[in-house]
Amino acid sequence: MRRAATILAIAALVAAPAAVFAAEPFVANLTTDAETPAPTLPSDYAGTGEASAEISDDATEITFEVTFSGLTGPLTMAHIHWGEEGAAGPPIFWLTDQSSSDTPSPLSGTLTEADFMPADGGPQTFAEALDAIRGGSTYVNLHTEQNAPGEIRGQLRELPDTAAVPESAPAVDSTALLLLTLVGLSTFIVAMRRFAFTRG
């Protein structure tokens, strides 16, 4: 009985942090229709792109990957901008090397607090930038020489739970898990006290 209580307590304590802390994935479909102002494009234009970003479980990093093709020319710049859908806003993160004027696809990297740029009227700290991403108030924007303000862009949206967890996986109720943790810990403490009492 005591061994079972100990195992239950340890298992609950190990499992609890996984339910509380988890990486947060976001995606964006990059199109010309989302650009503000509208880009200058040839009649046979077929540019497209996809972006993904993930906030780490400890909220200290953002990993990203951007794929694109069919642009009017080399990718000169790429950013995460602060701004609502349909509105142009300032960049808060560079996604490309600022010294490069031709970045191939795919584009990937990791962003930290050191990479954050405060936005006038917008996020002033890295934590506020993360909240803006979570709230759907940021977008990925790809720039070319022909379309310096932006050629394709897309709003970062959080992936729904169903996209991140297979349908066959059981749902985890964080409240129930917390209660299980408390019960297991209490049982463990009681068992240890009884053990110490019988030893004494």
The structural domain count of the chain equals: 1
pLDDT at 160: 81
pLDDT at 18: 44
pLDDT at 186: 58
pLDDT at 8: 47
In a domain, 5, yes or no: no
3-class DSSP state of 136? coil
In 21-139, alpha helices (H): 126-134
What one-letter code names the amino acid at 151? E
Range of the domain at 73: 22-171
Residue 76 to residue 150: CA distance in whole angstroms: 10
Is 75 within 8 Å of 97 (Cβ atoms)? Answer: no
In a domain, 80, yes or no: yes
Residue 173 to residue 177: CA distance in whole angstroms: 6
In a domain, 187, yes or no: no
| CATH number for the domain that contains residue 103 | 2.60.40
C-alpha separations of 50 from 97, 105, 141 in Å: 19, 11, 11
| Tally of residues, the chain | 200
In a domain, 67, yes or no: yes
Report pLDDT digits (tens) over 78-92.
999 999 999 999 999
In a domain, 105, yes or no: yes
pLDDT at 177: 47
Report pLDDT digits (tens) over 99-138.
777 899 999 999 999 999 999 999 999 999 999 999 999 9
Low-confidence ranges of the chain (pLDDT < 70): 1-21, 161-200
pLDDT at 168: 47
Cis? peptide before 149, omega within 30° of 0: no
In a domain, 89, yes or no: yes
In the chain, alpha helices (H): 2-20, 126-134, 161-164, 174-199
In a domain, 121, yes or no: yes
In a domain, 186, yes or no: no
pLDDT at 110: 98
- Count of other CB atoms within 10 angstroms of residue 20: 10
Q: 185: which 2 tokens?
A: 């810990």
Residue 178 to residue 181: CA distance in whole angstroms: 5
Residues 6 or more apart whose CB falls under 8 angstroms from that of 23 comprise 54, 55, 56, 57
pTM over 0.75: no
